[in-house]
Amino acid sequence: MNARIRIKTLVAGAALATLGLAGTAIAQTFPARPVTLMVPYPAGGLSDVIARSLNVTLGKQLGQPVVIENLGGASGAIAAQKVLSNPSDGYTVFQGSPNELILAPLANASNKLRSEDFRLVQMIATAQIAFLAKKDLPVNSVDEFVEYARKAAKDGKPLTFASVGPGSFYHLLGEHLSKVTGIPMVHVPYKGAAPAEQDLMAGQVDFFLAPYGKKYDEMQKQGRVKVLAMLNSERLESVKQYPAISESKQLKDFTFKIWTGYFVKKDTPDPVATALHKAITGTLGDPAVHQALEANSQLLPRPQTLAEADRAYTDGIQQFRSIAKSIGLQAQ
């Protein structure tokens, strides 16, 4: 019996050693071909802008081109599922956020992915959230909006709000806004921010709690949308022309942000994850990348170690699951 145990131990040790050698070999050759950066929304939205701010420099860091693939739908879960269907070799990197990896599985019963199926390699940026209203909504502040929304609901014409899909962070924000104000509102889901913006400008939807981008400055100047506030706890220098929502009387505590990170499948070999982490961290240190992200009002976090990224993702899972529970989000 003891002999059998020793043999099994030796076999297991040999297998682990083989895996270790294989991982080392992969790391030494990775990447040997182009890497795909999967963006879970259509071209033109903020997620796409972020990806195109990084991919060329990231390609230089890796020594191979980084090709962007846009695939929208199901609050980003379609793209996430495609990543999971690919090999765990690091050649498909997912540009993700709590939208796709934490909230979408809670909102869509047909979505079988788990948050824990992914590993965060590095945080990329934190997005501020803008309170956008259609141009002809007769309000010019958050407090005026609340009063108008309350009257509209009483008249049987509740305001509509856009999101990038059921269960997305922006869907939850709209539902949470409805809950904290006690005002009925109607959710209108889209496949991404770009089509939601188009309908907002066309007056087909009343408001959109959206990740902020500089393009909204021009849209407001042109009278195509109204930026009522930023969901910040204080007025930041980069967006000082807009009130922080904390300056309102009725929604002063309605402050939120959302982060974006680069992910791989959970079982991607550690040497490959380490190689990607090094390249992504180097990319974020590039001044041109800094400028491009900041030009779109992205807040750049301090680079994390892989261990710190693991902890941050675990904490994020718990945080956003709690938000979903607080509004009673049910899988449909």
pTM, to two decimals: 0.77
- Final residue belonging to a domain, choices 210, 240, 257: 257
Do 267 and 293 share a structural domain? yes
Do 229 and 133 share a structural domain? yes
> Has residue 161 been placed in a domain?
yes
pLDDT tens digits, 180-192: 999 999 999 998 8
Do 298 and 233 share a structural domain? no
At 146, which CATH number? 3.40.190.10
Task: Give, as one character, the DSSP assignment of residue 244.
Answer: B
Do 190 and 162 share a structural domain? yes
For position 329, what pLDDT does the model report? 82
> Has residue 28 been placed in a domain?
no
| Amino acid letter for position 116 | E
Do 223 and 164 share a structural domain? yes
Average pLDDT over residues 69-80: 89
Per-residue pLDDT at 218 exceeds 90? yes
> Has residue 81 been placed in a domain?
yes
User: In terms of C-beta distances under 8 Å and separation of at least 24 residues, what long-range contacts does 176-183 make, across chains too?
Assistant: 176/254, 176/323, 176/326, 176/327, 177/209, 177/251, 177/254, 179/327, 180/251, 180/254, 181/146, 181/149, 181/150, 181/250, 181/251, 183/146, 183/149, 183/150, 183/153, 183/158, 183/159
At 59, which CATH number? 3.40.190.150
Residue 327 burial (C-beta neighbours within 10 Å; 0-12, 13-18, 19+): middle
Do 220 and 143 share a structural domain? yes
Do 246 and 160 share a structural domain? yes
Number of domain units in the chain: 2
Give percent of the chain above pLDDT 70: 92
> Has residue 7 been placed in a domain?
no
> Has residue 10 been placed in a domain?
no
- Final residue belonging to a domain, choices 230, 257, 284: 257
**CA 279 to chain CA mean position, Å:** 20
Highest mean pLDDT among 51-60, 232-241, 293-302: 51-60
Do 285 and 233 share a structural domain? no
Q: Residue 250 in 3-state DSSP? A: coil
**How much is the mean pLDDT over the chain?**
90
319 in the Ramachandran plot: left (φ > 0), alpha (ψ -120 to 50) or beta? Answer: alpha
- Final residue belonging to a domain, choices 257, 281, 315: 257
> Has residue 304 been placed in a domain?
yes
| Amino acid letter for position 289 | V
Alpha-carbon dihedral 89, 93, 97, 100, rounded to 10 degrees = -70
- Domain extent for 74: 33-127+258-326
